[in-house]
Structures are given as structure tokens and as C-alpha cells.
Amino acid sequence: MLVIFLVFIPMIGGLIAWAAERVGPSWPRRVALFALVLDLIITIAVLPPIPPSRGGWLAEFRADWIPAIGATIHLAIDGMSLLLVILTLFLGMISVLCSWTEIRGRVGFFHFNLLWTLSGIIGVFTALDMLVFYFFWELMLIPMYLLINIWGHENRVYASYKFFIFTQAGGLLMLVAMLALYFIHREQTGAATFGYADLLGTRLSSEMGMLLMLGFFAAFGVKIPALFLHTWLPDAHTEAPTAGSVILAGLLLKTGAYGLLRFLIPLFTDAAEAFAPVGMSIGTAGILYGAVLAFSQKDLKRLVAYTSISHMGFVLLGAFAGNELSLQGCIMQMLGHGLSTGALFIIVGVIQERMHTRDMERMSGLWQAMPRMGGFALFFGLASLGLPGMANFVAEFLVLIGSFRISVPLTVIASLGLIASAVYSLWMVQRVFHGSPSDAAPPDLSFRETIVLLAMMLPTLWLGLFPQTALTVSSPSIETIAAHGTNDRAGSMGIEEGRMR
Amino acid sequence: MTKTQVAALLPMISLGGSAVLMLLLISVKRMHGLITALTISGFCAALFMLFSIRPFLPIDVTGLIVMDGPAFIYTAIILGSGLVASAIGYGYLERQNEHKEEFYLLLLLASTGASVLSAASHFTSFFLGIELLSVSIYTMSAYITARPRSVEAGAKYLILAGMSSAFLLFGMASLYGETGVMGFADIAEALRGGPASPTILAGLVMIVVSVGFKLALVPFHLWAADVYEGAPAPAVAFIASVSKAGAFAVVFRFYSTAGFHSIEDVGVIFTSLAVASMFAGSLLALLQENVKRLLAYSSIAHMGYLLISLIARGDGAARAGAIYIAAYAVTSLGAFGVIASLSTERGDADRLGDFRGIAWSRPWTAAVFGAMMLSLAGLPLTAGFIGKFLIVASGVGKGLWTMVMSLVITSVISLFAYLRVVMEMFRTEEASFVNGIAPLDSYLLGILMLGLFMMGVYPAPIISAVDSLIALK
């Protein structure tokens, strides 16, 4: 029962926030914050703390939806979902806080869209019925589209179009594949169902399996984004308002990665195994491509956007490597990237709010005027390049040792990405914060902004220093997925044996 | 004729009866409010009659009409849409300098024709229904005589529909000449003998042409954009909901009961019509600056989608088709309802610019219109999502990959068109429209939007109702 509340609280909160605009411009913010805090309390405090053994769910909700076609509202949460839901709520709160002064017009409607996007994302992370999953998958698009389209920057219309069209195209292909799976399953067993657990056992011929897998990959690959399907990302991230960028980079991309882990690999094990070399290559290419393009940007926000492509390449690599180590790396990367990139977008947002530009050529020596901001930027820049002691390092390291067992050449190439990321991160910090100070002397971080960035700093450090906290929570889910995983034989050594420090 | 058989005709009789009553009333005194109220009660009476014969289905009436489950569904959709369309018409006509009352008369007669179509099981009722529907629609399209465009729309529809009726008659005559029967089931019986002769095929193609015209399938779609643009908004709402429902109902019955699905060429013809309609409709919708024209092209694409359920056949497809039509009717009524409620005597609110910024100046109207656009695009929470989902399911279930993939591609293309409208509504410039919406209209639109979301979020009751009805054949 609790799980359904997780989805509904932001929805209801969104409606109230919209209405609360009549009371005063700050009320939508407060309502939104309250709804997210309440949701987080329910998530952390009320759910059973110890993850059950393999395959179990921490909490589950099931109700009939459309019995005639076998669709049920089936939501459940396990360790992997739990981590991602917490990330969602955390970044949600951060988004509300970071847009406190940036968003001045139509505050109520802004928070309505924000909360409905979050609600859709939580739905995606918890849905266990394919149709419900698709429902939420599509549901989060519309408010996100509006966030970019209404509150975005100069080129927002183009960017929002592109975002919507890409994701919708992928989603429809997934819908077709999903329905084909449904009918094949019905033919085999006579049971009409969209249930995840039921569909898992469907036998597929190798061609059919490959086709359906590609249908799902179209949807997830667009979101992650995989190289060649990524072109919407730089535009959408750059043009979105800060809160929108945080949610896009921190959460929306993760829904693609989550879909890969939860649905694509377990449902189409054989096809995914056959596709693994291609998937891993796309991931590796994405790592380098994103890094190289990030380095060549003049627009600060676009730079951060391209780093997302690079970082999410690791997720793709790890997911298709498919053993426990690499899958754990994926989860860590989702968390670490959500935090570090989200923070970088906030920093860019703050700079833009003060200097009204994102052009790095017009920034120089900002450290003089904004030392606190400089410190944070350096910290998150280092986090983003994978400095040991921070979440991204653990994640990338796990992915690399996991994929090393599968393909040495690809792993070697992928690790070059670490060098490239050092280049663009440090270059960015050097470019913006060092050098001769420019005439403009924007004020340093306000108290609220400092709190926001501090709040993002702590989990980044915690996950880097004590990754086992998160790994323990996600390991039952990961074991289940790895059992289906593309290369489970090669990666039999689990986290428990190879204890990470 | 037994009592049950007469009872089966009661919905149509009460529509026709109300029309006659109104004809007499108008000749005594013109009272717009009273006439609207009478029309609405006529529809309510017909709906009541329809639901009271529900336990006796299916009823075969003289071989011309069969009141079975599918006929019940489509008649219910037609009556409901007719009711809403006449309510939309009230506020709209109130602002026009025309004689208002005859519009309802035509509306009732057209609905009678559509109801006959949805229950037709014989060439005679097929033809009578389609003529009753078309003749009323000519006049409804040309109703605002002060606007040249409206008259043009009527004339265009008249000429092309006349052509299509000629085709229909010729086709029917060919089939009759070859088989000697006119009932759908008898034709199926006669066809069972062996391969179809060229005369039968030619007759069939002519019927397809005529039906393609009614549903505005490419390449018989040329009237659609002009009629949608020129005709008054309530008339378009009616055409998009009632006329499509009636035409689709008869096509579905004809195709599935007259035994033509076994002829492979017919399937190929319908598939190519569907694919062409999807692509032409969604591509041409992108180029439109006029919202009514945009919706016309969108309707062409939607009828293409709908054909998937026609070709897929079977109970799942029948359910998909019925629910898709219902969803499409609610959506069209909502969209044209908004246009009608914003229109003045100078013209309809149909330019894209008319919707600029209305999300800020009249948020509720914009919410309704936005919801309708999202429903047309088939996004979740709306009825259009469930409709499109069921259609795709019926296509995938039968392995109709060409059509399903065309649907996917064209859905993405047409998204541009719908998003353009949504975006226009959210533009920050001040709105060009300031006149208020009549209270009746706002209630009506509110109810439509609620219905749209109900169907989209919790479609279980409606799906199970449709399922239990489809079983009654």
C-alpha cells in the first residue's frame, strides 16, 4: 500500500502547489518541499530496513486496473528501486531549492510540473506491470516538456520539441515490442498478463527476441542516452531551467538505465547476450565521444551536458557487461552521476543567474569574487572526473573491473575516458575560476545555495568512502539481474567475496 | 413485426419523432432555447430507449436492421455525441445572426441516419442511412450562409458526397447483379461458393471508394480539410464524432459479416488506404496554420489507425475499434467544443494565433484544449492513450506489422502538429481572445475533459461493458 503513496503524494502535492500560488508566491515552493520531505520520510522510515533475500520485494502494491486485458496496477520496491527513489526525492528537493530565486513567473504551475515529473519517475522506478511502466514512462514526458518549453532559455522551443519527439519515438517502439511479448506469452501459456514476473519466463526465438530487445533498447537507449540516440540531450539539458537540467540529468537518464537493468536484460537474456558486444562498444564510444565533445564546448552548460553522455556510457558498458561487479557499478554510477552532474548544473545555474551568460569565454577568475562557489565547483569537478573517495570513482572502477572480465580491449579504451574526464573537468574549473579576474564581481553563494551544494556534497563523499552502504541495499536486486545477466559465468565472483573498500 | 422488433427501432423512432415535432414547433414560433432543450431531451429519450432494450439483444428487425451488441455500442456513441454536439451548438448559434432552430432538426435527422447505419445489415438500410446522414450534413456545413467559406464547404461536400453515393449505388448494384441478394449475411453465403468474379470485385472496390470518402481516407480525403475549415464548429464536431462513428460501424459490419475479409485483395486495398491516410494525414497536418484544418488532417490519420482494427478482425479488434471511436468522439467534441465556445459571429476561433497565450489568460479552456491535443497524440491519462494502445494491441496480435510500424512513425510525426498547438497556448504574449465562455459551454467542456481522463485512467468499466456487448452478435 505504501508504494502507491510514494507515487501519489507528489501528484497531489503538485495540484496543491498549483493552487497555493493564490496564497503567495512562496507557497508553491513550500508545498512542493513538504510533499517531497513527506515522501522521503515514508520511503526511508516506514519501509523495512533490511533488504530481503534474492527476488523479494520490500513493499508491494497490487490492484486490478484493466482486468479485460490483464493489466494490474502492480508497484513494488526492492533495493535498486529504493536507492533510485531516494535519489529521486533528494534531487527533487534540491530542484525546488535551487529554483527558489531563478523561477519567478508562474511559480505554481512550475512546481506542478516538477512534482508530476517526479511522480512519473517514481512510477517508472517501481512499476512491475509493463503497461503501468509504459504509462508512467510517457506520463513524465509531458510535464518535463512544459518545464523546458515554458521556463527554459533562448532556444527552448526547439529543445523541448526535440526532447519530446525522441523520447516518444523510442517509447512507441517499446510499446510495440511490449505488446508483441504480451501476445507471445499469451500464446504460450494462455494467460493474458503484463506482469513482469510472468513475462520473465517467455520463450522467444532468437530473431524475435532480438527484434523485441531492440524495441526496448530504442526507448532506453534514447533516455540513457546511448551514442547515436543522444542528440536531444545537449539541447534539452542546455535550454532547460536549472531544476529541469538537474532532473533531466539526475533522474530522467536514470530511468533509461533502470529499464535496461530491470526489464531489458532479464526479459531478453539471450538477445541481450548476443547484443552485448555492440552495446558495450556503443557505451565505450559514448564515453570517449562525450568527453571529447565536452572539451570542445564554449557554453558551460553544454559542457556539463556532454559529460553526461560520457558518464552514462559507463552505465551502458556496465549493464551489457552484465556481471555483478559491473551492475553494481551501474547503480553507483547512477547515484554518483546524479549527484555530481546535478550539482554542476546548479553551479552553472547560479553563474547564469548572476552573470546572464553561459559563455565560458566571458568568464574568468571567478574564484576571486566567489571563493565558496569556486570550492564547490572544484569539488564536483573532481567528483565528476572520478577522483578516489567520491562516488563516481567507485562506480567507474566497479564497471571497469566488471567489464575487464568480458572484454579487455573495450575496458582499456573505456578507461581512457577517465583521463579525458580529468582534462575537461580541470579545464573547466581552470577556465572559469582561475586566470585574471574579470570586471564583473558577482556575489558569492547565498546561504540557501551553500546549503543545497553542501547537501549534495555529503552523499557524494559518503558513497565514495563507504560505498558498501549502498551496495548492500542493491545487492539482492543485482544478484537477481546478474543471474539473467549477459555474462553471468564470467562474473561469478560477487561483491560479498571481493569486498570493496 | 413483433413488439421487441418495434422496440429495437425505438431509439431511431424517437429521434425522428423529435425532428417532426420540432418541425411543427418551428413553424408556429421560433424559440432557440426550447428547441435546444427538446433536441437534448430527444437524445435522452433515445438513449433511454436504447438502454431499455439492452436485455433483449440481439434483435433482428426485418432483415434490414439488426440491433446487436456492436450496433448498441455505436448507437450509444452516436446518441451521446449528438447530444453533446447540440449542446455545443446552442452557445455557438446564439451568437450568430442566422435562423438557429433548423440546425437541430438537421442534427437529429443526421443522427437518425447514423444510428440506422450502425445497425444496418442490408444494402437498403446501408444506403438509406448514408443518404440521410449526408444530406443533413451538406446543409449543416453550409449553415452559416453569411460566410462564403461555409457555403463553399457545403457545396464541396454536396458534390463529392453525391459522387460517392453514385459509386455506392453502382457497387451495390454490381454485387446484387452477381449474387442476387442484398443482406450482408446472404452475400457472405453467396460468396462462399468459390473465387470472387470480377464484377463482385469491381462492385466491392466501388463500395470501398464510397466508404473511403465517408471516412476521409486518402485518396478520397480531398473534401475533409475544406469542410472542416468552412463548416461551423458544432457541425464539424458532429461530423468528426457522429458521422465517423456511423460510417465506421457499417464498414466494420459489412467487412466482417459479408465475407469479404476472405478476399485477399480487399485486405491489401484497406491496408494501403490505411497506410496512405496515416502518412498523408500526419504530414499534411504539420503544414496547417488553421486549427480546424489541422484537426481535419489529424482525423484522416486517425481513421487510418482505426482501419487496423478493421483488418485485424476478431473480438479484440472489435473492442479496439469501438473504444477508439468512443475516445475519438470525446476528443473531437472537446476540441471543437473549445473552438465553438471561443468563436464569435465574425468567424470561428480557428487560427493558430487565436490560441496564443490562452494557457495564461484562460487556463481552464487551455487545459481542456491541451488535454484534447494530448489525447489525439495518444499520451497517457487521456482516452486517446487507451484507444491507441488497444489499436496497436489488435494490430500486433494479428501481426499486421506494416500498419503498426506506420502507426508508430506517423504518431511521432503528428506529435509535431499537436505540440505546435500546445506550445502556442503557452506562448507568453497576451492572448488575442478576451470574450468569456458561456457557463453552459464551460460545464460541458469540463464534463468532456473529465470523461477523457476517466477513460484514460480507469478504462476497466467501459472495456468490460464493451466486451459484454460485443459478445452479443
Place of cell 547515484: A335
Q: Is B306 helix (H, G, I), strand (E, B) or coil?
A: helix
CB contact under 8 A, B392 and A179: yes
Residues found in chain B? 473
CB contact under 8 A, A176 and B385: no
A116 lies within 8 A of chain B by CB: no
- pLDDT the model gives residue A491: 41
Greatest extent of chain B over all pairs of C-alpha atoms, in Å: 68
For A131, the closest chain B residue by CA position comes to B389
Confidence class for position A123, pLDDT limits 50, 70, 90: very high
The span from the CA of B335 to the CA of A203, in Å, is: 45
Burial label, B152 (beta-carbon count in 10 A; 0-12, 13-18, 19+): middle
Shortest CB distance from B460 goes to which of A66, A136, A172? A66
Cell of B158: 454536396
Residue A159, min C-alpha distance to chain B (Å): 12
B411 lies within 8 A of chain A by CB: yes
H/E stretch holding B60 reads: strand B59-61
Distances in Å between the Cα of A150 and the Cα atoms of A121, A155, A229, B102 are 20, 11, 25, 45
The span from the CA of B36 to the CA of B90, in Å, is: 7
Contacts by A63-69, CB closer than 8 A, 24 or more apart: A64/B460, A65/A129, A65/A131, A65/A132, A65/B458, A65/B460, A66/A131, A66/B459, A66/B460, A66/B463, A67/B460, A67/B464, A68/B319, A68/B460, A68/B463, A68/B464, A68/B467, A69/A131, A69/A192, A69/A194, A69/B390, A69/B393, A69/B463
Confidence class for position A496, pLDDT limits 50, 70, 90: very low
- pLDDT the model gives residue B434: 58
Confidence class for position A364, pLDDT limits 50, 70, 90: confident
The span from the CA of A123 to the CA of B233, in Å, is: 39
The span from the CA of B12 to the CA of B208, in Å, is: 26
B237 contacts B88 by C-beta, under 8 angstroms: yes
CB contact under 8 A, A138 and B385: yes
A66 lies within 8 A of chain B by CB: yes
Other C-beta atoms lying within 10 Å of the C-beta of residue A155: 12
CB contact under 8 A, B412 and A176: no
Rg (CA), chain B: 21
Cell of A91: 534531487
Residue B413, min C-alpha distance to chain A (Å): 8
- pLDDT the model gives residue B178: 87
Q: Which residues on A lie below 8 Å from B397 (Cβ)?
A: 179, 183
Preceding omega of A225 cis (within 30 degrees of 0): yes
The span from the CA of A266 to the CA of A283, in Å, is: 19
Mean pLDDT computed over A211-227: 91
Q: Considering the entire predicted model, what is its pTM?
A: 0.91
Show Cβ contacts of residue B312 under 8 Å, excluding neighbours closer than 6 positions: B320, B394, B395, B397, B398, B400
A418 contacts A385 by C-beta, under 8 angstroms: yes
For B401, the closest chain A residue by CA position comes to A176
**Helix%, strand%, coil% for chain A, nearest 5:** 75, 5, 20
A321 contacts A387 by C-beta, under 8 angstroms: no
Does position B430 have pLDDT exceeding 70, yes or no? no
Shortest CB distance from A65 goes to which of B390, B396, B460? B460
Backbone angles phi, psi at A446, to 5 degrees: -80, 175
A18 lies within 8 A of chain B by CB: no
Could you read off the pLDDT of B271-284 as tens digits, one per residue?
Answer: 999 999 999 999 99
CB contact under 8 A, B393 and A179: yes
Compute the mean pLDDT over every residue in chain A, rounded to the nearest whole number.
86
Residue B229, min C-alpha distance to chain A (Å): 27
Residue A356, min C-alpha distance to chain B (Å): 21
CB contact under 8 A, B416 and A65: no
Q: Is B282 helix (H, G, I), strand (E, B) or coil?
A: helix
For B418, the closest chain A residue by CA position comes to A161
Q: Which of A79, A45, A56, A58 is nearest to A3 (CA)?
A: A58
Strands B59-61 vs B65-67: parallel, antiparallel or unpaired: antiparallel
Q: Which of residues 120-149 of A touch B (CB under 8 A)?
A: 131, 134-136, 138-139, 141-142, 145-146, 149
- pLDDT the model gives residue A500: 38
Mean pLDDT computed over A59-70: 86
Compute the mean pLDDT over every residue in chain B, rounded to the nearest whole number.
90
The span from the CA of B90 to the CA of B108, in Å, is: 14
Place of cell 485477399: B264
Residue A152, min C-alpha distance to chain B (Å): 12
Does position A492 have pLDDT exceeding 50, yes or no? no
Residue A332, min C-alpha distance to chain B (Å): 31
For A183, the closest chain B residue by CA position comes to B397
Q: Which residues on A lie below 8 Å from B459 (Cβ)?
A: 66
B408 lies within 8 A of chain A by CB: yes
Could you read off the pLDDT of A277-325 as tens digits, one per residue?
Answer: 999 999 999 999 999 998 888 888 999 999 999 999 999 999 998 888 8
Confidence class for position B258, pLDDT limits 50, 70, 90: confident
Does position A497 have pLDDT exceeding 50, yes or no? no
Q: Is B180 helix (H, G, I), strand (E, B) or coil?
A: coil
Q: Which residues on B lie below 8 Å from A187 (Cβ)?
A: none
Q: Is A449 helix (H, G, I), strand (E, B) or coil?
A: helix
Mean pLDDT computed over B337-349: 87
For B398, the closest chain A residue by CA position comes to A183
Mean pLDDT computed over A112-127: 93
Does position A448 have pLDDT exceeding 60, yes or no? yes
Percent of chain A with pLDDT over 70: 94
Q: Which residues on B lie below 8 Å from A135 (Cβ)?
A: 380, 385
- Under DSSP, the state recorded for A445 is -
User: Comparing A58-72, A297-311, B138-152, B171-185, which segment has the lowest mean pLDDT?
Assistant: A58-72
Place of cell 529541469: A244
Shortest CB distance from A175 goes to which of B381, B392, B460? B392
Mean pLDDT computed over B379-393: 92
A481 contacts A81 by C-beta, under 8 angstroms: no
Show Cβ contacts of residue A295 under 8 Å, excluding neighbours closer than 6 positions: A303, A420, A423, A424, A427
For A106, the closest chain B residue by CA position comes to B360
Residue B397, min C-alpha distance to chain A (Å): 6
CA torsion through residues B368, B372, B377, B378, sign: positive
The ipTM of this complex is 0.88
User: Three-state secondary structure along A421-479?
Assistant: HHHHHHHHHHHHHCCCCCCCCCCCCCHHHHHHHHHHHHHHHHHHHCCHHHHHHHHHHHH
The span from the CA of B160 to the CA of B168, in Å, is: 12
The span from the CA of B250 to the CA of B245, in Å, is: 9
Does position A52 have pLDDT exceeding 60, yes or no? no
CB contact under 8 A, B389 and A146: no
Q: How many Cβ pairs closer than 8 A exist between chain A and B?
A: 69
Confidence class for position A137, pLDDT limits 50, 70, 90: very high
For B460, the closest chain A residue by CA position comes to A66
- pLDDT the model gives residue B103: 92
Report the alpha-carbon angle B318-B319-B325, nearest 5: 90
Preceding omega of A28 cis (within 30 degrees of 0): no
Does position A54 have pLDDT exceeding 80, yes or no? no
B170 contacts B154 by C-beta, under 8 angstroms: no
Does position B326 have pLDDT exceeding 50, yes or no? yes
A60 lies within 8 A of chain B by CB: no
Q: Which residues on B lie below 8 Å from A65 (Cβ)?
A: 458, 460
For testing contact with chain B, the best of A130, A151, A168, A239 (most B CBs within 10 A): A168
CA torsion through residues A186, A188, A189, A190, sign: positive
Could you read off the pLDDT of B67-82 as tens digits, one per residue?
Answer: 999 999 999 999 999 9
